Amino acid sequence: MIERTLCIIKPDAVAAGNTGNIIAHIQKEGFRILGMKMVALSHKAAAKFYEVHKGRPFYDGLVDFMSSAPCVPIAIEKESAIAEWRRVIGATDPAEAADGTIRKLYAKNKGENAAHGSDSVENGLREIAFFFTERELADLA
């Protein structure tokens, strides 16, 4: 089944100049890019986006990090996009990520891990809607 998911090229990867490399990786893996933009999240917007993690020990640091510099949200789709994108980005900790994954190639550490991936179809749609209106998404079907 074709699914949509959200990729975010995180501030560490943008600052390191890896945006183009990650976009090329997305395309090489057969994902269709439906929408993409560079944004600077306010602290309030980052807190709202990651509110599902509120109360977890990493939440405050994640919100601070994601609002520290620009990031690039990208709406993508593919057959089984959720599982496929999570495979492509690799484990949260780049030291544990498989060779060739985005996090193994471009992440600094577990906190600054280059890319975000939605964890479910429902969250993927919710996360895409956070950054994009339907009008902003290319209908490639």
Look at residue 7 in the predicted model and tell me its pLDDT. Answer: 98
Look at residue 128 in the predicted model and tell me its pLDDT. Answer: 97
Look at residue 141 in the predicted model and tell me its pLDDT. Answer: 53
Q: How far apart are CA 131 and CA 124, in angstroms?
A: 11
Catalytic residues: 116
Domains and CATH numbers, the chain: 2-136 (3.30.70.141)
Tens digit of each residue's pLDDT, the chain (141 residues):
999 999 999 999 999 999 999 999 999 999 999 999 999 999 999 999 999 889 999 999 999 999 999 999 999 999 999 999 999 999 999 999 999 999 999 999 999 999 999 999 999 999 999 999 989 998 755
Q: How far apart are CA 113 and CA 117, in angstroms?
A: 11
Q: How far apart are CA 72 and CA 74, in angstroms?
A: 6
